[in-house]
Amino acid sequence: MGTPSEDNPKTAAEIRKAIRSGAHTGHTAGLAPGYLQCNLAILPEAYALDFLRFCQRNPKPCPVVGVSETGDPMLPTLGHDIDIRTDVPKYRVFRDGALAEEVTDITDLWREDLVTVALGCSFTFENALMRAGIPVRHVEQGRNVPMYRSNIALQPAGRFGGSMVITMRPIPEDRVEDAHKISARYPQAHGAPIATGDPGALGVASLDAPDYGDPVDIRAGEVPVYWACGVTPQNVLLQAKLPLCITHSPGHMLIADVAEDAETTILSTR
């Protein structure tokens, strides 16, 4: 049940249907090429405005692509019949700054004061890299992208602040400039890389030991390239110690109906 291959769904809606039914509970890397994938932060309305300020001040790791109405689990600006309670393969539930559980459905946890903030995901620009013939190693190896806590400080807002989480992809040395130019076209999906080369300069001790996701092979002639990561809000929400917040589990994204290069429209909270 790791992939939606049983019925071979191709579109975002078909994959969401497989997720909603429980037929797909794995990560979403490489799925639905051409469609926007989203990180999630679901939190009480009382904290939502400060969190949105935080995202606005830190657009590289936190590019907002959609915001729900308060208490409404649907996200109409991102697609037809998207129910945020069921349409993500795996969720993380945090209570008072601690991970309480990982679940595949949050219907029983839904409340009338919850707001969903959808954030762009680097899985989106990976499709563009692969179309250009640039390898994406974790997709090749059937793994989740490696993610690391960095020493890059974020601009705080209210009780939200901390350090950036980054992703790493090994890129052939002669294609690094191409990878930079291609990903820069997708600011809603973290945009261009933030660094290349030495992980120590970013506060990462070992690329073989990611904080989230899976390690991947770095081959001869390749260099590590780093992008801002949408898991950053999870660390920020953890440190804020909200009484309740819910996120996607790293690598397990919401797949929207909108094209990955479309201009998305934010639906403001009440």
DSSP per residue over 150-216, as a string?
EEEEPPPBTTB--EEEEEEEEEEGGGHHHHHHHHHT-GGGT-S-SEES-GGGGT-S-TTS-SBS---
Query: What pLDDT was estimated at residue 233?
Result: 85
- Residue type (1 letter), 117: V
> Model's pTM, two decimal places?
0.84
Burial of 195 (0-12, 13-18, 19+ CB in 10 A): middle
* CATH for the 125-228 domain, from 3.40.190.10, 3.30.2040.10, 3.50.50.60, 3.40.50.1980: 3.30.2040.10
Provide the pLDDT for residue 261: 67
Q: What string of pLDDT tens digits covers the 270 residues of the chain?
A: 344 444 445 789 999 999 999 999 888 877 887 788 898 999 999 999 999 999 999 999 999 999 999 999 999 999 989 999 999 999 999 999 999 999 999 999 999 999 999 998 877 788 889 999 999 999 899 898 999 999 999 999 999 999 999 999 999 999 999 999 999 998 888 999 999 999 999 999 999 999 999 999 999 999 999 999 988 988 899 899 999 999 999 889 999 998 876 654 444 333
Superfamily designation of domain 12-122+239-259: PSTPO5379-like (3.40.1640.10)
Q: In angstroms, rounded to a whole number, what is the distance separating the alpha carbons of residues 250 and 145?
A: 9
In the chain, domain spans:
12-122+239-259, 125-228
C-alpha to C-alpha distance for 212 and 215, rounded to whole angstroms:
9
Q: Are 106 and 127 in contact (CB under 8 A)?
A: no
Separation CA 55–CA 78 (nearest Å) = 18
Concatenated DSSP letters for the chain?
A: --SS-SS---SHHHHHHHHHHTS--S--TT-STTEEEEEEEEEEHHHHHHHHHHHHH-TTT--EEEEPPTT--B-TTT-TT-BTTTSSS-EEEEETTEEEEEES--GGG--TTEEEEEEE-THHHHHHHHHTT---HHHHTT-PPPEEEEEEEPPPBTTB--EEEEEEEEEEGGGHHHHHHHHHT-GGGT-S-SEES-GGGGT-S-TTS-SBS------TTEEEEEEE-TTHHHHHHHHHT-S-EEEEPTT-PEEEEEETTS--------
> Please, which residues have CB within 8 angstroms of residue 72's CB and are 6 or more apart in sequence?
none
Provide the pLDDT for residue 204: 97
CA angle 172, 176, 181 (to 5 degrees): 145
From the number of C-beta atoms within 10 Å of its C-beta (0-12, 13-18, 19+), residue 199 rates as middle
